[in-house]
Amino acid sequence: MPALANYVGSGYSAAGGYLPPTPPPTGQSPAVVPESTQKRPPGRFGWRALVAFVAGGLLAAAGFASARIGDTTDAAAAPGEITVPVRSGQPAPPPLVVEPPDFDTDEPAAFVAKLLGPSVVQIEIPNLGLGSGVVVGDGIIVTNQHVIEGATEVDIRTADGRVLAGEVLGSDDRTDIAVISVGTGTGLSVAEVAVGEAPEVGQLTIAIGSPFQLQQTVTSGIVSAVNRPIFNGVGLNAMIQTDAAINPGNSGGALADRNGRVIGINTAIQTDGIGNSNLGVGFAIPIDTAMNIVNRILAGQSMEPGFLGVSGIESSDGSAGVQVSEITAGSGADLAGLLIDDLIISIDGAPVTSIEELAGLVQTNFPEEQVQLGVVRDGEAITLTATLGQR
């Protein structure tokens, strides 16, 4: 992988417009790094963007938009209502009543916004920054690791205007997933997750989050690709690619299907190496991967990824797949009966066209878990079951 290099994104100027990003030194490409910061002139919110770029200057973590966050806690609203903060001495406006969604009459995006919006929260680290999160259990919120990195306590701003104290329970930098608890009995709406249902290329997607501190922002698009291997500087992950607009601050937010079920956790965007805003190519961690990590964190289990034990190359005859060139003795691949020159064409039903795709798919699993390998051997298609080990 290329060497790591620091690079920063855009922020707000005192005039309220976006500041252009500083280009990298001549001849140097941005690469994946921990979030970098650049101070900006003091604007209304004192923003600065925190981003991490992937190798070649093509990909940037959606990051979290940084802002100075006030200490005022909004009063709790009744279910179905949203409170609007008011200045001292002014009468409080009446609560905004949110109509329940109606699948038969609402536009798809409007239906999802009404159904899923209450389950998407804004994560605030006082005097540092913010991102997004999704409620996936009673008081349990999933977000990106790079959103809460370095923090043990955060503020959770709910869709109805409340601010709750959140405790970081754990995180995994390889998959960029973190878990926060706000305690039980908060009344937060729990999102429905589409675990076990593979997204399809071309299906409608709805993203909800807080880009640039704009809470409850809804954007729509489609699934552009699945199982896209993306290296985040720590691990290689099989991602969902979407053209729904994702920007800094969307990190940790929801990517949903037309039924309002969460199919992924938004985490990264592709850039031109100069700016860090949306160009129509974003990436989300599949919900199966995210929930696997959530459950392991809650259970106190290891985050060490699974190990198959193969090296591969492009097939000698041009066939799609990964031709096995080396097998680690005693590994899951070896014990499953995989042979040199076997062509691996799928893993758990997902097509494999490169060694990067194979690695990304393997590393979403853990030691002792089993995977089904679709293999072509001497022109015959066979299926092998491999139990993953530990590197």
Full-model pTM: 0.72
| pLDDT band, very low/low/confident/very high, at 27 (cuts 50, 70, 90) | very low
**DSSP states of 294-361 as a string?**
HHHHHHT---PPPB--EEEEE-TT--SSEEEEEE-TTSHHHHHT--TT-EEEEETTEE--SHHHHHHH
What's the burial of 351, exposed, middle or buried (CB within 10 Å: 0-12/13-18/19+)? middle
Reply yes or no on whether the pLDDT at 40 is more than 80.
no
187-224 burial: b if 16+ Cβ within 10 Å, else e: ebbebbbbeeeebeeeebbbbbbbbbbebbbbbbbebb
Reply yes or no on whether the pLDDT at 367 is more than 80.
yes
Point out the least confidently predicted range of 53-67, 116-130, 148-162. Answer: 53-67
Q: Give the residue numbers annotated as catalytic, written as ranges.
A: 146, 176, 251
| pLDDT band, very low/low/confident/very high, at 65 (cuts 50, 70, 90) | low
Rounded to a whole number, what is the largest CA-CA distance in the chain?
A: 81
Please write the tens of the pLDDT for every residue from 186-209: 999 999 999 999 999 999 999 999
Point out the least confidently predicted range of 19-23, 134-138, 183-187, 366-370. Answer: 19-23
| pLDDT band, very low/low/confident/very high, at 146 (cuts 50, 70, 90) | very high
CA 179, 185, 186, 191 dihedral sign is: positive
* Of 360, 387, 363, the residue nearest 373 (C-alpha): 387
Q: Which two tokens stand for residue 289?
A: 């991967």
Structural domains in the chain plus CATH codes:
1-73+95-303 (2.40.10.120), 310-387 (2.30.42.10)
Q: Give me the pLDDT at residue 50, please.
A: 31
Q: List all residues 6 or more positions away from 79 whose beta carbon is below 8 Å from its beta carbon.
A: 160, 187
| pLDDT band, very low/low/confident/very high, at 280 (cuts 50, 70, 90) | confident
Point out the least confidently predicted range of 320-334, 350-364, 367-381. Answer: 350-364
Please write the tens of the pLDDT for every residue from 113-133: 999 999 999 999 877 789 999
Reply yes or no on whether the pLDDT at 76 is more than 50.
no
Highest mean pLDDT among 149-153, 272-276, 383-387: 383-387
Q: Which two tokens stand for residue 354?
A: 């490169």
Point out the least confidently predicted range of 87-96, 115-124, 267-276, 362-371. Answer: 87-96
| Cα dihedral 48→263→245→107 (10° resolution) | -130
CA–CA dist 47, 59 (Å, integer): 22
Reply yes or no on whether the pLDDT at 89 is more than 80.
no
> HSE on the CB side for 173, CA within 13 Å?
10
Average pLDDT, the chain: 78
